[in-house]
Amino acid sequence: MANRLGTIARDLGRMLEALAGLILVSVLIPLVWREWWVVPGMVLSGILPLLVGVGLSRTFQDAEDPGRLHGMMIAASGWFFVAVFGSVPFLLIAWTAQLDPGVLNVPVRFTTTGTEAYSTLAAFQNPLNGFFESMSGFTGTGLTMSVHEDVLPHTLQWWRSFIEWVGGVGVIVLTTAILARPGSGSLTLYESEARSEKIHPSIVSTVRTIWWIFLLFTFFSILVLWLAGMPMWDAINHAMTGLATGGFSITDNSIATYDSVAIDFALIPIMILGSIAFPIHYLILRGDLRNLYRDLQTRWGFIFFGLGTLILTALLFDQGFYQTEAIVVAGIVLQGQAATLFQTFRFALFQFVSAASCTGFQTAGSLGPGWSPQAQLTVTFGMVVGAAAGSTVGGIKLIRLLTLAKGTLFRIRGVFYPASAVRTFRLNGRALSTEEAAQEFEEAAIITFLWVLFLGLGAFVLMLSVPMGPDGFTLENVLFEVASAQGNVGLSSGITGPGMPTITKVMFLFNMWIGRLEIIPVLVLLRSIFVSMEVYE
Amino acid sequence: MHLEKIPFVGTLLAAGADDTVFDILLLLGPLVIVLITILGRTSLTVLLAVAYTSVFVGYIAYKSMATTESKT
């Protein structure tokens, strides 16, 4: 037990050291924006995980390399504590504004009761709200406790975007890239963070290549958004959260704030880039574009986005939700039904890609009460499934859905063959033996079962804790919100906010946590804690 | 020259796709963004951003065609 704790504590310490680095680097932002009053809070927020991290990693530096059990416990506890320590900047900056020490010259808008800036920042005086924001950021969810994101200090706007950007690739991937440790331990940890794909034989090289790709795409995305008309600060933040399929925005109404066709269509390829697996990106950058249709997940990703968009467009057009008299697109004036169809397609495409890529950007303002239940459930299905494993998305992942679908067909067809027949199960170009196929099928079935189980549990808790019925929320609103939290998406039907009950916040925190790690590592951690506490034998 | 030996960014560049153009784009990216931030939205900065994104997309397309031709 002591050995196990030592290994966990050492690697947890390394993750906290990496987190401290992220916070301390972010001190540049208040210096650039001249937000001097947040600097002490940011520095203190960085020193805290640094001390704890260095203390743990030094004390247990000789601990054993992690095994599979350790790996899962490190991933689960690491993500939990990174979110805890990552919430400190929210807490300290909110309390700095509240206490308003004269020497720091806190801007009046943050200290005057009744202003939007005050109430938005004051929400983070509650540590649970900061923890929620931090967990939502690191897991790439995007559900927020900020009522008016546009009035937050630039430092907190950056911190929200930055943690989503890092969390999209993974905290362990970051730690491995920076604090490289050759050997089997890194691979175990990497796999525990819901990743299995390898670009190179060495895991350290793989994670560094992932960061190389991610940085290159980030710069490209920033410039694309800026060209589409976003101000540079907005472009930087939205490129980071869009590519990481996180979905935090620095504007009050997400992407709907801009009401720009160009920005909507510029963000779609960025969200799609984030939902393609990194090894495929690598092959494409090496000149092999054919992987866009050769790779099973990528091909089905495009089919999934296309089909979902068509269904959603048809549902919303039938509902007549986006009746438009006239709209100008690229200098062409569309009128009447053509204008309505274009607007419906525009919002359906954006919202379905945003949901299925698990980004969570919103352009359609009435996802909650306005859209028909069928339209909401179509988007919910997109959020539950997600896109490619090995990318930055959440959800069950397309590969598992395809494995289940193909596996089910394989089983049914098997009945028509003699018992002695030797059959091969083909998946993504691989020929699998019966045992291998059974293992793939079992893994996909277990994750899907757990996903649906916790979706149901979350929905149950939500239905008990938020107002339901004609004056409250509907079942489809509840399923939408829980699927959004657990799928690490961030679209909201209007339930999430600082005023929601504590039990709902705790449930969503749990949903986001298990969703990011694909559930099993968290269950392994909880079981280990319960066993060690002798809750059960 | 070994990429690893370049100060600060050597390790990152060495992890890339072994392609000078992408490495240059990676190095130029932050510089272009800072320049645009300082100068604002002008004809020059728009041209700069268009050039950067065009080279990125165009080079992927060119590389893909070159790779396909060499394989056939």
Please report residues of A whose CB lies closer than 8 A to that of B61. Answer: 289
Q: Which of B12, B27, B50 to mutate to test the interface with A (most CBs of A within 10 A)?
A: B12
Most distant pair of Cα atoms in chain B: their distance: 47
Are the CB atoms for A192 and A200 separated by under 8 Å?
A: no
Nearest chain B alpha carbon to A281 = B17
**Strand pairing category for A430-432 and A332-335:** unpaired
pLDDT at A317 over 60: yes
pLDDT at A29 over 80: yes
Residue B71 binned pLDDT confidence (cut-offs 50, 70, 90): low
Residue holding tokens 């900020």?
A: A146
In DSSP terms, which residues pair with A425 in a beta bridge? A432
pLDDT at A378 over 80: yes
Q: So what's the pLDDT on residue A25?
A: 96
Q: So what's the pLDDT on residue A179?
A: 62
Residue B16 binned pLDDT confidence (cut-offs 50, 70, 90): confident
Residue holding tokens 């430092």?
A: A155
Q: Which of B12, B32, B61 sits opposite A223 (nearest CB)?
A: B32
Residue A394 binned pLDDT confidence (cut-offs 50, 70, 90): confident
Q: So what's the pLDDT on residue A195?
A: 66
User: Hey, what amino acid is at A154?
Assistant: H
Contact between B13 and A216 using a beta-carbon 8 Å cutoff: no
Q: Which of B13, B20, B38, B56 to mutate to test the interface with A (most CBs of A within 10 A)?
A: B56
Residue A140's region, left for phi above 0, alpha for psi from -120 to 50, else beta, is left
Q: So what's the pLDDT on residue A2?
A: 58
Distance separating alpha carbons of residues A483 and A95, to the nearest angstrom: 33
Domains of chain A: which residue ranges?
1-196, 285-500
What are phi and psi for residue A334, nearest 5 degrees?
-100, 140
Residues of chain B whose beta carbon is less than 8 angstroms from a beta carbon of chain A are 11-17, 19, 22, 25-26, 29-30, 32-33, 36-37, 46, 49-50, 52-53, 56, 60-61, 63-64, 66-68
**What 3-state class would DSSP assign to A42?**
helix
How wide is the angle at C-alpha A154 spanned by C-alphas A500 and A129, nearest 5°? Answer: 20
**Six-digit token pair at A66?**
């992690």
Distance separating alpha carbons of residues A259 and B66, to the nearest angstrom: 40
Contact between A285 and B60 using a beta-carbon 8 Å cutoff: yes
In DSSP terms, which residues pair with A327 in a beta bridge? A334
Please report residues of A whose CB lies closer than 8 A to that of B17. Answer: 209, 212, 282, 285-286
Mean pLDDT of A262-277: 94
Q: So what's the pLDDT on residue A446?
A: 93
Residue A391 binned pLDDT confidence (cut-offs 50, 70, 90): confident
Among A302-306, A333-337, B41-45, name the one with the lowest average pLDDT: A333-337
Among A57-61, A349-353, A480-484, A491-495, name the one with the lowest average pLDDT: A491-495
CA distance A199 to chain B (A): 11
Output B50 or A367, whichever has higher pLDDT.
Answer: B50
CB neighbours (10 Å) of residue A232? 19
Q: Which of A169, A205, A286, A290 to mutate to test the interface with B (most CBs of B within 10 A)?
A: A286
CA distance B68 to chain A (A): 8
DSSP codes, A112-173:
STTSHHHHHHHGGGSHHHHHHHHHHHHTT----S-S-GGGS-HHHHHHHHHHHHHHHH-HHH
Mean pLDDT of A360-388: 84
Alpha-helical (H) ranges within A1-38 are: 2-25, 28-33
DSSP codes, A437-469:
HHHHHHHHHHHHHHHHHHHHHHHHHHHHHS-BS
Q: So what's the pLDDT on residue A500?
A: 93
Q: Summarize pLDDT for A437-453 with one digit per residue, the tens.
A: 888 889 899 999 999 99
**Six-digit token pair at A50?**
């640094």
Tell which residue, A235, A272, A227, has the closest CA to residue A251.
Answer: A235
Q: So what's the pLDDT on residue A62?
A: 86
Q: Which of B11, B56, B64 sits opposite A287 (nearest CB)?
A: B64
**Six-digit token pair at A72?**
């899962």
Q: How many residues does chain A have?
A: 537
User: Hey, what amino acid is at A454?
Assistant: F
**Strand pairing category for A326-329 and A332-335:** antiparallel
Nearest chain A alpha carbon to B17 = A286
Please report residues of B whose CB lies closer than 8 A to that of A284. Answer: 60, 64
Contact between A220 and B52 using a beta-carbon 8 Å cutoff: yes
CA distance A284 to chain B (A): 8
Contact between A209 and B25 using a beta-carbon 8 Å cutoff: no
Q: Which of A25, A212, A243 to mutate to test the interface with B (most CBs of B within 10 A)?
A: A212
Please report residues of A whose CB lies closer than 8 A to that of B10. Answer: none
Q: How far apart are the first and last CA of chain B?
A: 32
Q: Which of A212, A216, A227 sits opposite B49 (nearest CB)?
A: A227
Q: Which of A209, A218, A289 sits opposite B15 (nearest CB)?
A: A209
Are the CB atoms for A224 and A271 separated by under 8 Å?
A: no
pLDDT at A155 over 80: yes
Residue A373 binned pLDDT confidence (cut-offs 50, 70, 90): confident
Are the CB atoms for A40 and A96 separated by under 8 Å?
A: yes
Helices (H) and strands (E) in chain A, counts: 23, 4
Contact between A285 and B66 using a beta-carbon 8 Å cutoff: no
Are the CB atoms for A131 and A87 separated by under 8 Å?
A: yes
**Six-digit token pair at A57?**
């990693």
Q: Summarize pLDDT for A171-219 with one digit per residue, the tens.
A: 877 777 666 665 556 677 777 666 667 777 778 888 888 999 999 999 9
Tell which residue, A480, A469, A529, A468, has the closest CA to residue A508.
Answer: A480
Q: So what's the pLDDT on residue A185?
A: 64
CA distance A209 to chain B (A): 5
Residue holding tokens 């991290």?
A: A53
Nearest chain B alpha carbon to A221 = B53
Mean pLDDT of A69-90: 93
- Who's near A56: CB < 8 A, 6+ residues apart? A9, A10, A12, A13, A16
Distance separating alpha carbons of residues A356 and A45, to the nearest angstrom: 34
- Who's near A243: CB < 8 A, 6+ residues apart? A165, A168, A214, A217, A218, A221, A270, A271, A273, A274, A392
Residues of chain A whose beta carbon is less than 8 angstroms from a beta carbon of chain B are 205, 208-209, 211-212, 215-216, 218-220, 222-224, 226-227, 232, 236, 282, 284-290
Burial class (CB in 10 A: 0-12, 13-18, 19+), B19: middle
Contact between A219 and B33 using a beta-carbon 8 Å cutoff: yes
DSSP letter for B16, please: S
Distance separating alpha carbons of residues A55 and A74, to the nearest angstrom: 17
Distance separating alpha carbons of residues A409 and A403, to the nearest angstrom: 10
Nearest chain B alpha carbon to A234 = B37
Angle between helical axes of A68-86 and A502-516 (0-180°, round to 10): 140
Mean pLDDT of A27-53: 96
Complex ipTM value: 0.93
Please report residues of B whose CB lies closer than 8 A to that of A216. Answer: 16, 22, 25-26, 29
- Who's near A181: CB < 8 A, 6+ residues apart? A204
